Structure 1
């Protein structure tokens, strides 16, 4: 049973989520509630919790601060973010801290309860290693020439070994972990074992046969740990349904690279938004190589993809440039790359619907990203059109047709949207927020905010909380 803790400063939200969602259908049980991060940490100390749902904007200790503390104290704890609005910077930070999913409260309707819990349960299931079952002699040194490991990348269901092998003499088969097995046979029976395992690949979904060399003088326990580590690192990126047999040496170390640097993440996001990768193979291949070179863990990769999709849809979902559908789960880089290919096709299809050239579409996208990423600057249509080498009048016309708003309307819109995030997720002053979104006059900022939202910034903050 997965034990769940709900953390939110709104009692009605806590009670609603606790009572309305079909937890038991997904082997989950709500064991506690907390109104802020500090109380949540106290609860975590008192009893075990497997999954924590936490709001981001809370008094005493914010959800981000809670996540940082919980990650250090309880590294195996799964975390899902609850958010009132799709406040992208904070969700991205939460995903980079290890959150496995997020739930936007405004979109949480009764018919979505089951879908949300199924998605969360699937992700927990894919990230949780079942305790391996190993024989008592697992510390005995191996005397075989090679060890064979059949690993399935399909973690959505329990795979049962589908084939009874025709044994020749002494043969060993052990289950390494769920959906993963290893075999060994004496030299005279090894060729037959290899061919039978190779033939069985079609019966096990998303499977790879690893042929491990340099196994002598290692214990079965060491080999098992090596297989699990390789599966979590290199095999995630090496899996290919068209090349299902991989020879590996146990003398090689397969580990993840260091934590990705912010500049590496920014470079990928810039390539995604500001280069025509969906239209040109050279840019596409460059983007793929940038992704793969980071060698991100599955959770980190999911967080990066989520942040890209959310930001894209935040910017372009309601424009002629179209919406991107998120990949909800993946078990290998092969699946991620297939999703990127499909996304590229979707972007091309949306771009083809417009009357403008690809160069103009890319220029408008670049202008939008420049405005989004540096709101303290007072960008003008004249200044950006000059920077992009387009006439001001033509740039203004293209911008309105593609984005659905004039340049000035869009500029005010994104600044007010960003200020909403600051109001709900920080305790900073209105003047501080106004400056961060490009307004040096607090009164003018408040007037613009009220024109677009119907409330003063202080009223909006109070209502949101």
Structure 2
């Protein structure tokens, strides 16, 4: 029996790709979709790897368009036939692809099953040794795979209950996902997949089955089928997945996702779209959760009210920079605790803040050229941020730059900062913390940390320790109090920690420092 004709689909619109995939019963017609790509560059990598017989490609795509793709494919792989998809307005581009050896074209408005099949047959007949592909009966595994692919794409699956029962003998299902989109290293991705596969193979030794689903880019997805009861099994599953995550701690952004259990195989598409995809989005705000399980998520705190950007800009115009920046940081920290916040909305808010601050400072005649140069860098990095905390860190860096510009332009002393230093000098003996001082001066704690570092050579904690150690050095020389008493008087409740900090900053222990100072005074 002749093998199936292998087809690669290339289009930058996912809905178009999905539409083509589900337009025909491909295997029954004698064809097999071996891959899909969203631009010409991705397609070239897949062509080399998969060696398709036919490539169906759009014309207008980002990164590498269909015209260039056709030219390169026909140069490198002349035996591969190419069918071009186009709109009426793109016919000039289509004409140029014919010069490069394209087999045929299809106008998108005419993309119907019967017409597509006729073009495919005509094109396949040109391929030496292939001819018109022969229809073949689909195996049960193929029917299962096609049903899953349809359901994940939002379509209803046509498959008999008998086939489902034979492949999945147990009453309960769940979906296990591994979000690999943020993992950049290809070798690391393969290692993660190997770890998960080995674990699931071991799991299979009990009353459980699993199948890897192939249809979700950027995500390893498995359908698990097991016997009841599930409670102990799920608890063990979470522990084991957490352990796998720790083994791959270099793979930033690795999250395992567990859906609710469900009884009907045909619910798979609904569970995927409403739970797995949702939990993938939640992981942006929940970096501390290597395993996210539907129905077992942290409570969402009180939702932050929408920020009034016009009010923030007015504060900047009045040169209330610290207050405005602190207010915004406090808002986005609060907003990041709500993992249901739309990621695009969150990132857009940060980009809008950068744009408005830069624009307002420029109108106030500050020298904003450094910010203008870095602005698009910030936009790009925020867009690529794996977690909300990464995006917030970029905003903190931007604010430090903005603060630097306002200080350089206004060379007068910073009274707010000196009040802050004086407060630490007066209260060093108390259990002083960044959070408490931030409240005292009406700062957001994260902003205060950035603000302090930007205005001083040391960070907040380093400066507090410096003040305390200087006071302790004075007491060690001028009093006979014990090390424990001095430790307590300068704000350290733990003498061993005081000794550690003192030695780190002076190079000697408190007792050694006292001894050296006494000897030095005696020699004078």
Bigger Rg, which one: 2
TM-score by length of 1: 0.39
Higher relative contact order (CA 8 A, sep 6+): 1
TM-score by length of 2: 0.36
